[in-house]
Amino acid sequence: MTIDERARELTPPTTPALRLRGISKRYGPVVASDGVDLDVHHGEIHGLLGENGAGKSTLMKILLGLVKRDSGTILRGEEPADITSPQEAVALGIGMVHQHFSLIDALTVWENVILGDTGKIDRTAACRQVEEVSRRYGLPIDPLARVDRLSAGERQRVELIKCLRRDPSVLILDEPTSVLTQAESAELFTVLRQVVRTEDRAVILISHKLAEITAATDRVTVLRKGRVVFHSETSATTPQELARQMVGRDVSLRAEGAALGLLPVDGGRPADTGTAPDTALDTAPDIETGTAPDTETGTASPAPGVVPALRLRDLTVTVDGVTALSDLSLDIAPGEILGLYGVEGNGQSVLGDLLSGLVLPTSGTVEVGGRPVELDRPGALHRAGLGIIPEDRHSSGVVLDMSIAENLVMKSLGDVSGRGFISRRKMYGIARRLAAEFNIVAPSMDTPVRSLSGGNQQRVVLARELSAGPSVLVAAQPTHGLDVGAIEDMYQRLQDAASGGVAVLLISTELEEVMALASRIAVICSGRITGVLPTGEATAERLGMLVGGVAA
Amino acid sequence: MSAADDISTILSSGIRLTVPLAFAACGEYLAERAGTMNISLEAMMLGAAFGSVATASATGSATTGLVAGVLIGLLIGFVHGNLAHRLEVNTFVVGLVLNALVLGLTSYLITISSFDSHQVSQVSVPWLRDIPLIGHPLFVERWPVYLLLLVIPLTWWLVERSRWGLELRAVGEQPQAADVTGIRVNLRRRQALLWCGALAGLGGAYLAVGEVGSFNQNMTAGRGYIVIAAVIFGAWRLGRTLLGCVLFGLADAMRLALPALGLTMNSQLLVVAPYLLALLAMLVFTTRNREPKALGQPFVRGST
Amino acid sequence: MNEREDLGSGDVLRRLLSNLNPGPSGWRTGAATILALLVALTLSSLLIAVTGGSPVASVEALFQGSMSDLTAWSSTLLYAAPLLLVAVGACVSARSGLFNIGQEGQVLIGALAAAWVGLRLAITGPLLIVVMLLAAGLAAGGWAGLSSLMYRLRGVNVVVSTLLMTFVAQQIVAYAVNTPWLLQESRIGNAIVSPQSNPLPSSALLGSIGEYPGLQINAGLIIALIAAVLIAVAISRTTWGFKITMLGRNPLAAKHAGVRVTALGGAALAVSGAFAGLAGAVLLASPVGVNRLQPGLSMNIGWDGLLVALVARNRPLAAMPVALLFGVLRSGGGFLAATGVPSFLVDVVKALLVLAFVAPPVVVALARRRRSGDRTAGARREAAPVAEEAIA
């Protein structure tokens, strides 16, 4: 997209498609939304940028009628609108493309598409409509297919079709690219362009990725702690400015930049020009022209002669007849951070589960310190010296309704018990020490982990895992859902662990994160490693191709 | 008596024992598709059986009794729905308490009251009733039996073809996703329980004012649980669920007919057959993933 | 969850009181519970009054049958013992996240095993009763273990399988007492044989421990009390209890932390079954029981014990007073009939009481959540202390 195009876009605005005035929402003492004003115009893509917890999703839930606002007004055109249910939002022409939890696996595409409508079901008409919409926007899909058979990209298409079919004048997309490959993202943004250019709809794009916002939007609003802190035409601002507004202070550090979704300033790559972040839009054509990358594939040894701290050999995992990992091999040396990068849903979570002891491989081995681990023995990985920060800490990392102290000792009960009885004194002793060491902020060690902030919960996990003195630390999406301060803290801890000789496997979907932290990057696609390359040789383009499954 | 007569008698009683199960099964099937494992089915049937007899005695009309039974089933469905899908009390706890409450209450009330006997009238279909063997069992019945011809296709249509049913299935599979799509998950589940209550009520009332004409303590004697077993046996498909009801009804008829036939057969085995078959079905079918994924799980917005 | 049993310094009473008053919104829940109890009692009284009885006379009869003298107290305690045993077992399984509702059947299986040992094994002296109790626990534990096995192998829902297995157990007992080579009573001359076993020998009965004029302190009661205390300590103080709690609150995290999920969950279910089985043996050998195996022997002790655990919110110590209350209703219920009120009334009262204990905390938390204007997962957890037993 060129500057000219943008300029043409920014003709004097007519009545905005949607106006929010003074929207506020409190959850008890927490202010999620504090007098937010927002204008969204027809024919524009409006970026809504903010850290986790800045109030983006609360605002959108209010717009969709899922959450009731405390005060403020919503204007659709000139009319004030009172949205109290998703149906009313639809009636007002507000449509949302959800990223997670919105398609029913057991139903077919057409059934999903008409779900939420009213009136009689007409299957023939529904299928015809699906086909029509899919043709108009170039989103091929079989209306009779069951959703659980579709890929992430196809599901995204269904979401889009479902939304567009209702002919919304305002489209909201919530973090739409997190499960998409760059090619799929490119397809998405092409559709969005068409939607605003030729059909004059308004699009709100919610993201925490700076690169995406700068590349794809016409206008941007930054939220911080529930308030609008910055508003601008996208062309008139820079990623640095946006980053500063998002965090509330200057951003210069590598790690901070990565935390915000900026590529690290490294070598000859200037990051302050505003065009630096390679985006889905820009890289898409490269895939077609096919710049051949020369990457090492398969098992790249970190350094010859060193026994790898963690060695994964030919791991294959089949879940319900679907191969989630196939012949995955990786070596990680002591003191090294290896980034495993890929789009969500390509086997990373299965690998995380495997290294948590939750699933067993169909074939292949895991070696820690040169010795194979008997994976079918409960707790074997932990005893072998492998610590892990699981991807979804709520589901397997912590027990939310047990106390901080209990969560800190749960993997090493032997240390706090004798003859089967738990010594509370010992338990609290260990807990207090770890809490101090890892900055866990809580009223007492008896506090249930549920009532802690995400950052503190993550510190509990980290403290427990590192306190066992592991030789390997696996961090699976360790910064998901954390605010910038907590992310920086996490980065620092991971780097400290590595410089202390721990081998770190960083599983991440954030390109910027692996670029900033890892010394080597392995790319995973459809459960296999498509390439391993030193970070110095990695560029967004090369990684992008590997992520798309285009191996050398 | 000839063998044909024996078979006809067993068929006849088998059908009568199947009918209450089949009504309730249509209800339970729909409730389970929406994600509620409704064990207060027993309370619905028992309460309705008592209510129908009491009302029939008071008004002198068995048909009014039948209607009263449906209303009582609806009431229990309403209570269960609000406790489980509004106040979020565990659905099994609600079921246990309601079953205990209704059993205690009906036992208490029947001990201190006496009711006149009333029965709904019989329909005899000309020509067809003369078909040998099955003619009499199938075509000389109390009229509510023929309501099944309406209820079964209607239940099927509701679940598989109506928008309401599409939403019920969505709610039973992935309530979080359904919610985001704008479906009121707990409302749909409460509505499903009303349908379930009405049909279980009809089944219980049919048992009382249809077949027997009176009420006795713990009259349903676990039929609600048999229906739950039938839905499991049917792997959450209407046709197979009803087939299960027929099997279980016939097994019961066999058990009752054994002494008259002079056969010595293990009657305990026949009593236990529904439960064993349901357990067996679960052991065999679970991997096929027919069970609604959110069955028995409460829905609260914001939790996953 | 902070209100775990803590037996450290004789603060049992405080703990028991705090059970009625848990969490930050304690006084509201407490007030709502008291209100709900009043409503439950009012409804029960209304029921009696409307049906022509006298509520006052009914309460008097209940009191007379359960607490008026030592004989009445004995009967109350004798009923409370198996109820408490069942409830303690229910606490274990519910806390491990495997909700066992098949206690009624497990009681029967326990009684069957105990009766078989008592009638068929030539053991003399006090050893007999010990073997009976052991056999009952093992058999019912194994019976409940089957449900666990079905869950682990094929993912069969534990609630459903334990429920269905109850009816299977009933028919097994019925079969046993209808089959001469199993346990049907011996034919004497041409007398008609009933579906029941021979009476147990006197050495197989649980007599009073110690001599008190008129009062019977049954060994079953002692066992039940010890079991409740032991399980309370085990849950709050041992690594076993820690793992059970972890398993119940987050099975994935437990597995991740190296807990042998399959074995531990199976054990919890088996333990809960074993306690129900013990209750069956205690009931069989108790002076308030019939002292012979009959299909109706369990007298809904299994269902009631489960309700006791629900009211006690799965805390073994809190189950003690609740079991006593249910014992009062049971032994008092027999005296109701004399006042013209059917003894089924106590079943109604019991169900209403359970409702009164179960609903208010949920309602209070829900009301608070509605006030704060949004529904969050956190509020839900506070809201549902009863519902939190993850249904496997």
Greater confidence, A153 or A109? A109
User: Which of B161, B166, B304 has its CB closest to that of A115?
Assistant: B166
Question: A248-276 burial by CB neighbour count: b if 16+ within 10 A, else e?
Answer: eeebeebbbbbbbbbbbeeeeeebeebeb
Could you identify the residue written with the tokens 């019945």?
A: B141
- For the cut 80, the answer to whether the pLDDT of residue A355 exceeds it is yes
Q: In this structure, is the dihedral angle defined by the CA atoms of residues C360, C363, C366 and C371, taken in order, positive or negative?
A: negative
Structure tokens at A270: 């200037």
User: Is some CB atom of chain B closer than 8 A to the CB atom of A119?
Assistant: yes
Percent of chain C with pLDDT over 90: 48
Inspect the interface and report whether the beta carbons of C240 and A420 lie closer than 8 Å. Answer: yes
pLDDT at A96 over 90: no
pLDDT score, position C1 = 36
Whether A280 has a pLDDT exceeding 60, the answer reads no
In single-letter form, the type of residue at position B169 comes to: R
- Structural domain includes residue B66: yes
Question: Helix, strand or coil for residue A313?
Answer: strand
Q: Is residue B301 part of a domain?
A: no
Using the beta-carbon criterion (under 8 Å), do A115 and B167 form an inter-chain contact? Answer: yes
Distances (CA, A) of C163 to A157, B23, C167: 44, 22, 7
| Domain CATH code at residue B138 | 1.10.3470
- pLDDT of residue A11 exceeding 70, the answer is no
Contact C375 B279 (CB under 8 A): no
The model's confidence at residue A262, banded by pLDDT at 50, 70 and 90, is: low
One DSSP character per residue, B210-251 reads: IIISS--TTTTTTHHHHHHHHHHHTTT-HHHHHHHHHHHHHH
Across the interface, whether the CB atoms of B182 and A85 are under 8 A apart is answered yes
Distance CA A152, CA A509 (A): 14
In this structure, of A377-386, C3-12, C300-309, the range with the lowest mean pLDDT score is C3-12
Give the integer Cα–Cα distance in Å for B261 and B246: 21
Task: Using a pLDDT cut of 70, give the percent of chain B over it.
Answer: 96
Could you tell me which of A462, A521, A468, A522 has the C-alpha nearest to residue A496? A462
Q: Is residue B295 part of a domain?
A: no
Establish if B180 touches chain C: CB-CB under 8 angstroms.
no
CA distance A17 to A200: 10
- Nearest-5° Cα angle at A539, A537 to A542: 95
Q: Is C372 in contact with A28 (Cβ distance < 8 A)?
A: yes
From the number of C-beta atoms within 10 Å of its C-beta (0-12, 13-18, 19+), residue A315 rates as: buried
Closest CA to A414 of A402, A393, A430, A401: A430
Whole-angstrom distance, CA of residue A274 vs CA of residue A271: 7
Pairing of strands A337-341, A503-508: parallel
**Residues ≥6 apart with Cβ < 8 Å to C209:** C217, C218, C219, C222
What DSSP string runs through B99-161?
HHHHHHHHHHHHHH-------PPEEE-TTGGGSTTTHHHHHEEEGGGGGHHHHHHHHHHHHHT
pLDDT at A204 over 80: yes
Phi, psi of C228 (to 5 degrees): -60, -45
Option in A85, A102, A121 nearest B177 (CB): A102
Question: pLDDT category, A251, cuts 50, 70, 90?
Answer: low
Query: Nearest CA to C270 among C76, C29, C92, C391?
Result: C92
Burial of A230 (C-beta count, 10 Å sphere; 0-12/13-18/19+): middle
Query: Touching check for A481 and chain B: CB below 8 Å?
Result: no
CA distance C253 to chain A (A): 4
Residue A161 distance to chain B (closest CA, Å): 14
Across the interface, do A358 and C381 touch by the CB < 8 Å criterion?
Answer: no
Domain span at residue B26? 3-288
Q: Provide the domain count of chain B.
A: 1
Please write the tens of the pLDDT for every residue from C327-341: 999 999 888 877 888
CA angle A30, A33, A36 (to 5 degrees): 155
Q: What is the mean predicted confidence (pLDDT) over A217-231? A: 89
The residue ranges of every structural domain in chain A are: 1-93+168-179+201-261+271-277, 98-167, 290-385+470-552
CA distance A496 to C321: 55
Q: Would you state the pLDDT for residue A432?
A: 94
Q: Measuring CA to CA, which residue among B295, B177, B240 is closest to residue A111?
A: B177
> pLDDT over 90 for what percent of chain A?
30
Say if CB C53 and CB C340 are below 8 A apart. Answer: yes
User: In the structure, what pLDDT confidence band is assigned to residue A277 with cuts at 50, 70 and 90?
Assistant: very low
Chain B residues whose beta carbon lies within 8 Å of the beta carbon of residue C303: 96, 100
| pLDDT (average), residues A99-120 | 86
- Give the per-residue pLDDT at A265: 44
CB contact under 8 A, B182 and A90: yes
User: Is there a domain that residue B303 lies in?
Assistant: no
- Tokens 């299965």 identify what position? A350
A417 phi, psi to nearest 5 deg: -135, 160
Question: How many contacts, defined by CB atoms under 8 Å, are there between A and B?
Answer: 56
Express each pLDDT in A381-428 by its tens digit: 999 999 999 988 888 889 998 999 999 999 989 888 888 899 999 999
pLDDT digit string (tens) for B125-171? 888 888 877 777 787 888 899 999 999 999 999 999 999 999 999 99
Min Cα distance C22 → chain A (Å) is 15
Nearest Cα residue to C178 out of B277, B221, B264? B264
Q: Any bridge partners for residue A173, and if so which? A: A97, A205
- Nearest Cα residue to A330 out of A376, A296, A353: A296
Q: What pLDDT score does C4 carry?
A: 38
Of A25-29, A115-119, B39-43, C291-295, the one with minimum mean pLDDT is A25-29
The fold of A1-93+168-179+201-261+271-277 is Rossmann fold (3.40.50)
Give the predicted TM-score (pTM) of the model. Answer: 0.85
CA distance B83 to chain C (A): 8
* Residue contact C359–B87, C-beta within 8 A: yes
B112: contact with C, CB 8 A cutoff: yes
DSSP assignment of A359-372: S--SEEEEEETTEE
For A197, half-sphere exposure in the C-beta direction (CA atoms, 13 angstrom radius) is: 13
Predicted pLDDT at C23: 46
C78 touches B at CB < 8 Å: no
Q: By C-alpha distance, which of A411, A407, A408 is closest to A356?
A: A411
Q: Are C354 and B118 in contact (CB under 8 A)?
A: no
B221: left (phi over 0), alpha (psi -120 to 50) or beta: left
Which residues of A fall within a CB distance of 8 Å from C368? none
**Chain C environment of A388 (Cβ under 8 Å):** 256
CB-based contact (8 Å) between B272 and chain C?
yes
Share of chain B above pLDDT 90, in %: 59
What is the spatial order of strands in the sheet that A371-372 belongs to?
A322-332, A310-319, A363-368, A371-372
C123 touches chain B (CB under 8 A): no
pLDDT of residue A512: 81
Task: Report CA C32 to chain centroid distance, whole Å.
Answer: 25
Helix (H) or strand (E) holding A326: strand A322-332
Which of C143, C161, C344 should we substitute to test contact with B (largest number of B Cβ atoms within 10 Å)? Answer: C344
pLDDT of B302 higher than 90: no
Interface contact flag, A378 C239, Cβ < 8 Å: no
Q: Which residues contact A63 (CB under 8 A, 6 or more apart)?
A: A18, A20, A74, A83, A89, A94, A172
Ranges A102-116, A248-262, A268-282: which has the least confidence: A268-282
* Cβ-defined contact of C355 to B97 (cutoff 8 Å): yes
CA distance B215 to chain C (A): 16
How far apart CA A544 and CA A180 sit, in angstroms, is 11
Q: Evaluate whether A1-93+168-179+201-261+271-277 and A290-385+470-552 have a shared fold.
A: yes
Residue of C nearest to B279 (CA): C161
> What are residue C77's phi and psi, to 5 degrees?
-65, -35
Q: How far apart are CA A205 and CA A216, in angstroms?
A: 9
Neighbour tally for B258: CB within 10 Å: 16
- A202 neighbors A170 (Cβ within 8 angstroms): yes
Q: Which domains does chain C have, with CATH numbers?
A: 12-185+193-383 (1.10.3470)
CA dist., res. C268 & res. C234, Å (int)? 12
Residues in chain A, overall count: 552
What is the structure's pLDDT at A301?
52
CB contacts of B290 in chain C (<8 Å) are: none
Exposed, middle or buried: residue B4 (CB in 10 Å: 0-12, 13-18, 19+)?
Answer: exposed
Q: Quote the mean pLDDT of chain A.
A: 82
Amino acid A191: pLDDT: 87
Asked if residue C66 lies in contact with residue C72, where contact means CB atoms within 8 angstroms, the answer is yes
- At B230 the pLDDT is 93
| pLDDT of A482 | 79
Got the DSSP string for C26-54? HHHHHHHHHHHHHHHHHHHHHHHHHTT--
Q: Which chain B residues touch C175 with a CB distance below 8 Å?
A: 266, 268-269
For the record, the structure tokens of C29 come out as 């829940």
Q: Do the beta carbons of residue A62 and residue A25 sit within 8 Å?
A: yes
Cβ–Cβ below 8 Å for C153 and B104: no
- The confidence score (pLDDT) of residue B227 equals 95
For the residues A43-63, what does the mean pLDDT come to? 85
The answer for residues whose C-beta is within 8 angstroms of residue A491's C-beta and 6 or more apart is A255, A258, A259, A479, A516, A517
Distance CA A275, CA B3 (A): 91
Classified by CATH at the fold level, domain A290-385+470-552 comes out as: Rossmann fold (3.40.50)
Task: Specify the pLDDT at position B187.
Answer: 95
Residue type present at position A394:
H
CB burial readout A184-206, b (16+ within 10 A) else e = bbbbbbebbbebbeeeebbbbbb
Query: Tens digit of pLDDT for each residue in C154-190?
Result: 888 899 899 999 999 999 999 999 888 888 888 777 7
